[in-house]
Structures are given as C-alpha cells and as structure tokens.
C-alpha cells in the first residue's frame, strides 16, 4: 500500500466551524483566527460564505472578514457562493477560490439551499463560468455523499450523478463530504470510487465530520485510495445549520498528529495550530473538540 508522502489540508474552521455558532463571533476574532491558522502553516483556509444572512446570520460579516485579512501570497483563501448574488459580492473581496455547494440528496439540497439538485446546477453554472473567466479557482462541495439527515443512506450512484454534473459545468475539484459524520471507511471509499470517473484523485478532497468518531478512520481510508487533499476544522469546530445533530469536522490537530506520526508531511506546526485552536475555543468558552489538542494542552500544564 503506497500512501501519499504529503497531504494538503484546507482548514474550514472560520467558515464551516463558526457558521453554526449561536453566539456572535466578531469579525475581528474571525480575522485573528485566520491569521493564527496561516501562522501555523495552513496554506488553504475556507474563510467565510456569501450566503443569505437570513439563513446563516453568523456569516453576515463575510466581506468585512475577507477584507480584514492580511494576506500571505502562499495562502489560498476560499469562500462559499451558492448563487450569482453571492458570487458578485464575493468577487469584490478577491477570493482565490469559490465553492459552489450541492448535495447528493434531494432533501438536503432543498433544506440547505432551497432548490433541487438540478436547479442548483443551473444556478452554479454561470457562477462557475464567471469565476473561471475572472481567474478564480472553483471547487464543488458535495454534501451527503454517504448519508443524509433527512433521507438516510445515500447510494454511491447519487454521488456519481452529482459528480458528473459538477464536472459538466466546469468545477475543477470536488469535496466528498460526509456531512453528518455517519460514514465508515468502506462507505466513504465507495463515495470516492463513485467520484473517480469524473475527477481524478488529485482533484478530490475528503471532508469528514466526526459525529460518530469515524472521521480519522475515514481519512485513512481515503488516503489508502490516494486522496491527499482533506478539509478539517481547527479545534473540531462546527456543524451545518441544516444537518441537525451533526458535530464539527474532524479536528485539524488530530489529522496533523496522525499524518505526522505516519511520516506524512503537512507543512503545519502542530504547536502553533494547537494555540490557534485554544484561541478560538477560549473565545467560545469551551475546550477544543480535539483529543490531540487536549493532550498537548494538558502536557503543557505539566
Ligand atoms: C442559497 C440561498 C441564498 C437561497 O435562498 P432563497 O431564499 O431561495 O433565495 P432567493 O434567491 O429567493 O432570495 C431570497 C432573499 O435572500 C437574498 N439572497 C439570495 N442569495 C443571497 C446571497 N448569496 N447572499 C445574500 N443574500 C442573498 C435575496 O436578496 C433575498 O433577500 P430579500 O429580498 O428577502 O431581502 C439560501 O438558501 C442560503 O443562503 N443558503 C445557505 C445555506 C448555508 O450556508 N448552509 C451551510 C453551508 S453548506 C455546508 O455547511 C456543507 C459543507 C459545504 O460544509 C459540506 C458538508 O459538510 O456537507
């Protein structure tokens, strides 16, 4: 079995991590979190989303956050854009990559973005075209590739259908997301397998929530298939407002610890990453949701 020697991590903490927080998180805190993540060596950060503030109030300060970041040339800053209105606002803030986000389940598509899968693709197509014409990279997030909070198990054929549509409209790479963290390694591998006819392994990102504690095992299962791009969330922050009960993404700290322990490079300084997680967890008034972060913080206390 040959595993990748290097993994690219996209920290989605500032976006996926914070979108569901009930308490207001000031833009200055979000900006500081981005700064701390880039100081820890993250070279891809999902910063915010240009969605309706009525649907996701926590992301209403999207432009302020994007405009407040002291950018580093080596870092790719991405934002979610569900439609032309979101893209128009986002493009003024110069993202390096936009993310259109669809679902392999019809019910989730309706709950999350208020339209069917087919309608979502119709909305995304002009956004993708406009982004590519402006030299902005395009990623497609595919939610519910294993299970849906409303429909239950999702068949790999549904994933293949969505991946095919994403490819048709010009999306450059896709996230295979286990939105509710219900997946187990073989199921996640099936979802990736269903995507492979449309996107090669270099253009597939694993995005695993950790609700059932399977996300590290799922990450390893994806690595075994050659996937080397993953999303994770500092301090295990997060959850989707339209996936009730689902917890955050696998924590970046846990993934980095596992990868480094396997001799796989990430370019990330784990100590600085733990500090970034402690910073945002301190603001939120709780412990980081990461075993590795807790172990390191306890060790520091002696
Ligand atoms: C997609 C919409 C906007 C459709 O929502 P809609 O209500 O169908 O939209 P509409 O076009 O009918 O417009 C209704 C109102 O929304 C406004 N509007 C319309 N578009 C925008 C926009 N872009 N930015 C700001 N405002 C917008 C528009 O201006 C109008 O305002 P009003 O006239 O009522 O004052 C809505 O459903 C929405 O915002 N959904 C976002 C849901 C969301 O952000 N979910 C979380 C992210 S996805 C996720 O977390 C999963 C992921 C990616 O991490 C992977 C995984 O784990 O699965």
Cβ atoms of 194 and 159 within 8 Å: the answer is yes
Tens-digit pLDDT profile for residues 175-209: 999 999 999 999 999 999 999 999 999 999 999 99
For the question of residue 240 being annotated catalytic, the response is yes
Q: Strand locations in 21-164, DSSP E?
A: 44-49, 76-80, 97-103, 137-143, 147-148, 152-153
What's the whole-number mean pLDDT along residues 4-9?
97
pLDDT value of position 244: 78
pLDDT over 90 for what percent of the chain? 95
Identify whether the C-beta of residue 253 lies closer than 8 Å to the C-beta of residue 274.
Answer: yes
Average pLDDT in the 95-122 region?
A: 98
Q: Is the pLDDT of residue 243 over 90?
A: no
Q: Which of 12, 21, 51 to probe ligand 1 with, by most ligand atoms within 8 A of CB?
A: 51
The per-residue pLDDT for range 246-275, each reduced to its tens digit, is: 888 999 999 999 999 999 999 999 999 999
**pLDDT at position 254:** 98
In 10 A of CB 134, how many CB atoms?
12
Give the pLDDT of residue 245: 76
pLDDT > 70: percent of the chain: 99
| pLDDT of residue 242 exceeding 80 | no
Residue 67 pLDDT grade (very low, low, confident, very high; cuts 50, 70, 90): very high
Q: Of all protein residues, whose CA lies closest to atom 42 belonging to ligand 1?
A: 112
Whether residue 239 is predicted with pLDDT greater than 70 in this model: the reply is: no
Whether ipTM tops 0.90, in short, is: yes
Q: How does pLDDT run across 130-169, given as a tens digit for each residue?
A: 999 999 999 999 999 999 999 999 999 999 999 999 999 9
Q: How far apart are CA 43 and CA 296, in angstroms?
A: 23
pLDDT in the model for residue 223: 98
C-alpha distance from residue 16 to each of 231, 232, 260 (Å): 10, 9, 24
Which residue's C-alpha comes closest to atom 15 of ligand 1?
52
The band of 8, judged by pLDDT with boundaries at 50, 70 and 90, is very high
254 vs 64: CA distance, rounded Å: 30
Q: Which atom of ligand 1 sits closest to the CA of residue 103?
A: 58
């Amino acid at each position: 079995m040959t595993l990748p020697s290097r993994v690219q991590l996209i920290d989605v903490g500032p976006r996926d991590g914070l979108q569901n927080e009930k308490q207001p998180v000031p833009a200055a805190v979000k900006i500081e979190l981005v700064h701390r993540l880039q100081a820890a060596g993250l070279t891809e950060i999902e910063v915010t989303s240009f969605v309706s503030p009525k649907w996701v109030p926590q992301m209403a300060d999207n432009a302020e956050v994007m405009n407040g970041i002291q950018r580093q040339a080596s870092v790719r800053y991405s934002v979610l854009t569900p439609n032309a209105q979101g893209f128009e606002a986002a493009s003024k803030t110069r993202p390096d990559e936009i993310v259109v986000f669809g679902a392999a389940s019809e019910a989730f598509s309706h709950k999350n973005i208020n339209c069917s899968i087919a309608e979502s693709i119709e909305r995304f197509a002009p956004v993708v075209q406009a982004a590519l014409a402006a030299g902005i990279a395009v990623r497609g997030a595919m939610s519910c590739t294993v299970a849906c909070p409303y429909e239950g198990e999702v068949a790999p054929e549904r994933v293949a259908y969505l991946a095919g549509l994403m490819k048709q409209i010009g999306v450059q790479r896709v996230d295979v997301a286990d939105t509710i963290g219900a997946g187990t390694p073989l199921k996640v591998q099936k979802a990736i397998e269903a995507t492979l006819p449309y996107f090669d392994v270099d253009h597939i990102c694993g995005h695993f929530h950790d609700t059932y504690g399977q996300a590290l095992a799922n990450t390893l299962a994806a690595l075994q298939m050659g996937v080397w791009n993953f999303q994770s969330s500092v301090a295990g922050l997060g959850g989707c407002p339209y996936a009730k009960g689902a917890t955050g993404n696998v924590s970046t700290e846990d993934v980095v610890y596992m990868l480094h322990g396997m001799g796989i490079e990430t370019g990330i300084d784990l100590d600085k990453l733990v500090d970034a997680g402690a910073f945002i967890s301190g603001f939120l008034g709780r412990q980081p949701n990461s075993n590795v972060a807790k172990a390191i913080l306890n060790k520091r206390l002696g």
